[in-house]
Amino acid sequence: MSDFVWEDPPPDGRGLVVLSVILDELRARPGEWARVAAYSTPASAGPIARRLKNAGAEATSRKLPDGTGGVWARWPEDKDATA
């Protein structure tokens, strides 16, 4: 007898829901910058900034004076908000 549990895996937890929520908020206020994420290290901030850019937003990550990292993003004013 095995100890296997036969079931489907849970949903992928790579933040797709969070990303869609961020994008919805940015689309609601095009052209306005918002800090959308904070991380313990600057290196951790880069990947979310890249994902936001790939989704059509303008985004950047920065190192803060305390050594942590942040991500700022905005939806371009000239871009269709339904994209």
Structure confidence by residue, pLDDT tens digits, 23-67: 999 999 999 999 999 999 989 899 999 999 999 999 999 999 999
Look at the alpha carbons of 34, 36, 41, 44 in this order and tell me if their dihedral is positive or negative: negative
Query: In total, how many domains does the chain have?
Result: 1
CB-based contact 75:81 (threshold 8 Å): yes
pLDDT of residue 58: 97
Other Cβ atoms within 10 Å of 37 Cβ, number? 20
Residue 47 lies in a domain: yes
Residue 52 lies in a domain: yes
Look at residue 9 and tell me whether its pLDDT is greater than 90: no
Residue 7 token pair:
């079931």
Residue 46 lies in a domain: yes
Q: Which domain holds residue 52?
A: 35-78
pLDDT tier, 7 (very low <50, low <70, confident <90, very high otherwise): confident
Residue 42 lies in a domain: yes
Angle at 73 between CA 71 and CA 75, to 5 degrees: 165
Q: How many angstroms from the chain centroid is the CA of residue 42?
A: 14
Q: For 30, what's the count of Cα atoms within 13 Å in the CB-facing half-sphere?
A: 10
Residue 48 lies in a domain: yes
